[in-house]
Amino acid sequence: MKQLSIIGRYDQFDPNTDADDDENTRYIIGAAYHIDKQHKNMVLLDYDTVDYEQKGKTDDKRIQLTLQVAL
């Protein structure tokens, strides 16, 4: 069993195609450490950022540590 996994995700979406300058771009990158069976119990650390084109919206950036326990 491989104990380490790398994840990545990229999204680009336009919530209103009739309006200009309202697109959002999201990036997620992270790593998971599998404690025992793969995709069951793991610790996941990821960095998630959303860049907003809309005026008045602040870009969102976060680091998240998650423990997943499956029975």
Per-residue pLDDT tens digits for 11-30: 999 887 888 888 899 999 99
HEC assignment per residue over 5-42? EEEEEEEEECCCCCCCCCCEEEEEEEEEEECCCCCCCE
Domain limits at 36? 4-68
- Does the pLDDT value for residue 4 go beyond 70? yes
- Does the pLDDT value for residue 38 go beyond 80? no
Band (1; pLDDT cuts 50, 70, 90): low
- Does the pLDDT value for residue 39 go beyond 80? no
The residue ranking higher by pLDDT, 56 or 25, is 25
**Total number of domains in the chain:** 1
